[in-house]
């Protein structure tokens, strides 16, 4: 009898486990179907020539509108198809740089900044000037130069072959979907390349260009700079790479940086560190900088934030600063800290969030979650974030053209940090549990532009504005 019951129990247990396995596989299959888009594999014969290779790429690119959610809008889809058709007619006259620009413009018609063709990848495939610029809000300034061109450090670029620099920058906005502030930020990567400037129609040749600059001493001068391929270098994590123009590298090689030898302000300190915690003794406050919303190099963001919370809980600062101005996204690893943060700041003190056009994706989510839990104690400082609060993300399946190697990604569902998102067919299914119910907006309470004059003075205008606000409240 015992043997019978034992066998029956084993069968029941196996049956339950089998049912659970089926349910798990079904749930996973549904999750994958909804949130991890499938991308068709390219199937082409060996191209006969470069034009044929580009033509195959465009044929494959047409499929992008069928899998990227941003093209659910019929008008966007039709515009995309028309653009591909027009590009086919232009292939005989295109340069490689012009082709890259045209593909980026086509993808940008989806108006989803998550789906842009990466300007960082394009910039590595074309010739560059022997200088690097920074996209400050008061102008385009040279912050790095190859040896022999040190005289250009600190110079402002006024024009490219008689085209005012604002005209040039504006022309590259069409390469990016999403808000213009983020598009203008990335434009400086194109301005550094004569090939891309030529591809956009601003220069006579792809190998060099004439620039009008205002030198650091105030002198205006016309210079001609030739382009060359940049040497291969270590691929930097996203946040460090977009900071690259601001912070000298440990080994500059044959490059010289404008700020070499200077002690950087707190927001630029330790650029290779993904997270930074600093306690401000005077006044009594906590500064938390999060450049990445994910674990990196074996370091757990959630674990690190737990240590920060423990220290803040013991100290009970009068205010807190959460610096997200370089946070380009990642995961929900900051959510628990966001919920805990209000209790860590004593006397219901203010919580400042520093944002910029580089605050993106989960970086936006991190700011929204802090605002949700801290409510009217939150003061946002800096600039507008780099996307709308309702955007398409999740999935991120690679979509790569077979011959040119130009790539973007396919995204599947909506995040809505303004109003919340509850439609299971449209929204990320975990949003109600791990995201936000909607916070309205992330408009800065204290607008602080990113100006070269502050940068070259080693001044953090955002933190200065926060300390001034604290002083006003104390008086």
Across the range 321-350, mean pLDDT stands at 94
Q: What per-residue confidence (pLDDT) applies to 302? A: 95
**Cβ pair 358, 185 in contact under 8 A:** yes
Tell me where in the chain the CATH 2.30.42.10 domain(s) lie: 120-257
CA pair distance 146, 153, nearest whole angstrom? 10
Q: Which CATH number among 3.90.226.10, 3.40.50.720, 3.30.530.20, 3.90.470.20 corresponds to the domain 266-389+439-474?
A: 3.90.226.10
Q: What per-residue confidence (pLDDT) applies to 395? A: 82
**Cβ pair 77, 120 in contact under 8 A:** no
In sequence order, which residues have a C-beta less than 8 Å from that of residue 323 and are 6 or more positions away? 267, 287, 288, 289, 290, 354, 462
What SS3 state is found at 221? Answer: strand
Please tell me the least confidently modeled range out of 24-28, 256-260, 363-367, 405-409: 24-28
* pLDDT confidence tier of residue 379, bands split at 50, 70 and 90: very high
What is the full DSSP assignment across 436-452? Answer: -S--S----SEE----H
Across the range 327-335, mean pLDDT stands at 91
C-alpha radius of gyration, the chain, whole number? 25
- Could you confirm whether domain 120-257 is CATH 2.30.42.10? yes
Read off the tokens for 146: 């190859």
Q: What per-residue confidence (pLDDT) applies to 26? A: 43
Residue 73 has pLDDT above 60, yes or no: yes
CA pair distance 2, 203, nearest whole angstrom? 89
Task: Extract the runs of DSSP E, i.e. beta strands, from 385-468.
Answer: 390-400, 407-416, 446-447
Q: What per-residue confidence (pLDDT) applies to 30? A: 45
Tell me where in the chain the CATH 3.90.226.10 domain(s) lie: 266-389+439-474
Which of 301, 275, 297, 302 minimizes the C-alpha distance to 288? 275
To which residue do tokens 């502030």 refer?
A: 181
Q: What per-residue confidence (pLDDT) applies to 194? A: 94
Read off the tokens for 129: 């000037």
In sequence order, which residues have a C-beta less than 8 Å from that of residue 202 and are 6 or more positions away? 160, 161, 163, 168, 171, 209
- The per-residue pLDDT for range 98-131, each reduced to its tens digit, is 999 999 999 999 999 999 998 877 877 888 899 9
- The per-residue pLDDT for range 293-323, each reduced to its tens digit, is 989 888 899 999 999 999 999 999 999 999 9
CA pair distance 369, 201, nearest whole angstrom? 44
* pLDDT confidence tier of residue 202, bands split at 50, 70 and 90: very high
Q: What per-residue confidence (pLDDT) applies to 36? A: 67
- The per-residue pLDDT for range 428-469, each reduced to its tens digit, is 665 544 455 689 999 999 999 999 999 999 999 999 999 999
């Amino acid at each position: 009898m015992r043997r019978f019951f034992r066998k029956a129990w084993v069968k029941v247990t196996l049956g339950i486990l089998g049912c659970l396995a089926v349910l798990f596989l079904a749930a996973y299959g549904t999750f994958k179907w909804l949130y991890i888009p499938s991308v068709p594999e390219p199937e082409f014969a060996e191209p006969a020539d470069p034009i044929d290779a580009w033509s195959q790429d465009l044929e494959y690119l047409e499929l992008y509108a069928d899998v990227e959610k941003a093209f659910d809008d019929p008008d966007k889809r039709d515009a995309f198809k028309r653009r591909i058709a027009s590009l086919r007619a232009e292939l005989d006259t295109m340069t490689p740089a012009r082709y890259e620009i045209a593909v980026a413009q086509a993808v940008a018609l989806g108006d989803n900044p998550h789906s842009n063709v990466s300007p960082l990848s394009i910039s590595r495939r074309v010739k560059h000037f022997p200088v690097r610029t920074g996209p400050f809000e008061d102008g385009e300034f040279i912050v790095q130069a190859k040896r022999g061109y040190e005289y250009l450090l600190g110079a402002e670029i006024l024009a490219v072959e008689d085209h005012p620099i604002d005209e040039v920058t504006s022309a590259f906005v069409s390469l990016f979907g999403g808000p213009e502030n983020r598009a203008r930020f990335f434009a400086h990567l194109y301005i550094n390349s004569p090939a891309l400037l030529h591809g956009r129609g601003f220069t006579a040749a792809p190998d060099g260009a004439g620039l009008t600059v205002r030198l650091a001493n105030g002198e205006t001068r016309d210079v001609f700079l030739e382009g060359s391929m940049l040497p291969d270098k270590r691929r930097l994590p996203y946040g460090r790479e977009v900071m690259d123009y601001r912070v000298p590298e440990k080994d500059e090689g044959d490059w010289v940086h404008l700020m070499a030898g200077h002690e950087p302000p707190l927001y630029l300190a330790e650029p290779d560190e993904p997270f930074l915690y600093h306690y401000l003794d005077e006044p009594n406050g906590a500064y938390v900088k999060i450049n990445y919303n994910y674990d990196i190099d074996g370091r757990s963001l959630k674990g690190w934030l737990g240590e920060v919370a423990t220290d803040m809980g013991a100290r009970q600062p009068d205010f807190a600063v959460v610096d997200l101005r370089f946070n380009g996204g990642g995961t929900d690893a900051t959510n628990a800290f966001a919920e805990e943060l209000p209790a860590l700041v004593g006397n219901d003190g203010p919580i400042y969030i520093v944002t910029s056009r580089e605050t993106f994706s989960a970086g936006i989510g991190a700011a929204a979650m802090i605002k949700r839990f801290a409510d009217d104690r939150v003061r946002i400082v800096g600039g507008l974030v780099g996307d709308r609060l309702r955007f398409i993300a999740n999935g991120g399946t690679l979509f790569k053209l077979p011959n040119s190697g130009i790539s973007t990604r396919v995204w599947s569902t909506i995040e809505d940090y303004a109003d919340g998102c509850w439609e299971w067919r449209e929204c990320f299914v975990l949003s109600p549990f791990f995201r936000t119910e909607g916070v309205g907006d992330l408009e800065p309470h204290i607008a602080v532009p990113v100006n070269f004059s502050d940068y070259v003075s080693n001044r953090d205008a955002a933190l200065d504005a926060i300390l001034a606000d604290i002083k006003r409240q104390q008086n």
